[in-house]
Amino acid sequence: VQAPKQAGLEVEAKAKADAAISRQLAHARGLAQGQAGLRASAKEKLSENDAAAIKIQAAFRGWWVRDCLSVDNYCATLIQQVVRGYLRRMEYEFDYYRIVIVQSAVRRFLAKRRANEARPVATMTPAKAGEIPLVSTGFVSRVAPPQPAVV
C-alpha cells in the first residue's frame, strides 16, 4: 500500500506528462498548419521540466540523425570502394591486353627482319637463271650440281 503523499506525487507527475504531451501535440499541429506564432507563445509557457524534456528529445533526435548519416556515409564509401576496385581491375586488364598486342607486333617485325637477313642473296648469273624464282623465295634447289668430267 502506497503512502498518500507518494500517490499524490505520482498523480501529479502523470498530469504533468499528459500536459506536456498535449502541448507538444498542439505545437506539432500548429507547425503543420503553418502557425509560427504558436511556436513562440508555446516556448514562453513551458515549465522547466517541459523545457528539459524537449532539450533531451532534441539531443536524442540529433544524435539519431547523425548516427543514421554515419551509417549512410559508411555504405556510400563501401559502394565507392567496390566500384573503384572493379574499374581499376578492368583498366589493368585492358592495359595488359594492349601491351600484349604491342609485343606481338614488335616480335612479328623482328622475326620478319631476321628472316630477310638470313635469306641467301640471289646473284644474276646466266647459269642460275632458271633457279632465280626458287632462290628468291628462299628455296634451295635439290638438284645436284654438275660433276666435273673425269679425263
Cβ atoms of residues 67 and 59 within 8 Å: no
Mean pLDDT within 118-134: 56
Say what the pTM is: 0.36
Q: Whole-angstrom Cα distance, residue 128 to residue 147? A: 16
CA–CA–CA angle 62, 66, 73 (5° rounding)? 165
Burial class (CB in 10 A: 0-12, 13-18, 19+), 105: exposed
Cβ atoms of residues 136 and 124 within 8 Å: no
- Which grid coordinates are listed for 138? 628462299
Q: Whole-angstrom Cα distance, residue 40 to residue 32? A: 15
Q: Considering the chain, what is the average pLDDT of its residues?
A: 76
The DSSP 8-state label assigned to residue 137 in this structure reads T
| Per-residue b or e along 79-88, where b marks 16 or more CB atoms closer than 10 Å to that residue's CB | eeeeeeeeee
By C-alpha distance, which of 20, 11, 30 is closest to 57? 20
Residues 23-72 pLDDT 10s: 787 776 766 565 555 455 555 677 888 888 888 999 999 888 888 888 88
Q: Is the pLDDT of residue 116 over 80?
A: yes
